């Protein structure tokens, strides 16, 4: 992509990021954005149809990056054990992607909202599981309804993202990924070191 295009889009993104700290997205106008970005309206419309199209493109951009990372770790998986073993590096790289796109993530969560973002995550997880999960996993006889997996995964991910943002990303992606994987595989009680005697 042309460096001038990259620069202009970054200026627009930064302008929106600063504006949503001051007022609700619904009352922000294209004129507000262009004034803050120090560009003219014609330049804005070369990139986006309107402010809603801009948000849609931001969301699409982020999810394409996340899907690319997730799909990279679904290649050459031929056993359930191998699938489980690759979950840690998958989570680490997904978190790095979110960390690199912290500003974009912040814009989407402040404008779209957590529930909208979670719904998009759920649909993405469901699609990827149905179309890209290795057959050794998708053919497995699950004890619970398989359509609960994307619901559980998306709600977990959105809660983790919320926690991470509120703590100003205090943990490294590796540390947070280890926390998530430990709780996911061991269960919350064992992961937190809480003794219990029931099954």
How far apart are alpha carbons 190 and 12 in whole angstroms?
Answer: 47
Q: Are 70 and 154 in contact (CB under 8 A)?
A: no
Residue 50, pLDDT above cutoff 90: yes
- Decide which of 141 and 51 is more confident: 51
How far apart are alpha carbons 64 and 172 in whole angstroms?
Answer: 23
Q: Which residues, at least 6 apart from 73, have a Cβ–Cβ distance to it below 8 Å? A: 86, 89, 90, 93
pTM here is 0.81
**Looking up tokens 């269960």, which residue turns up?**
187
| pLDDT tens string 169-187 | 999 999 999 999 998 888 8
Given this model, what pLDDT does residue 73 score? Answer: 76
């Amino acid at each position: 992509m042309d460096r001038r295009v990259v620069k202009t889009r970054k200026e627009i993104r930064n302008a929106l990021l600063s504006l949503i700290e001051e007022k609700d997205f619904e009352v922000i106008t294209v004129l507000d954005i262009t004034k803050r970005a120090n560009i003219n309206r014609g330049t804005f419309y070369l990139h986006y149809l309107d402010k809603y199209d801009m948000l849609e493109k931001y969301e699409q951009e982020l999810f394409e990056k996340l899907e690319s990372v997730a799909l990279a770790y679904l290649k050459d998986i031929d056993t359930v054990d191998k699938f489980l073993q690759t979950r840690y590096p998958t989570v680490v790289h997904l978190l790095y992607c979110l960390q690199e796109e912290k500003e974009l993530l912040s814009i989407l969560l402040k404008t779209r909202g957590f529930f909208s973002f979670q719904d998009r995550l759920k649909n993405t997880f469901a699609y990827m599981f149905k179309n890209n999960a290795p057959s050794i996993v998708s053919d497995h006889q699950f004890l619970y309804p398989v359509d609960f997996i994307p619901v559980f995964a998306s709600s977990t991910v959105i809660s983790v993202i919320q926690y991470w943002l509120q703590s100003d990303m205090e943990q490294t992606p590796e540390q947070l990924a280890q926390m998530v994987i430990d709780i996911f595989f061991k269960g919350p009680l064992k992961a937190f070191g809480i003794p219990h005697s029931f099954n």
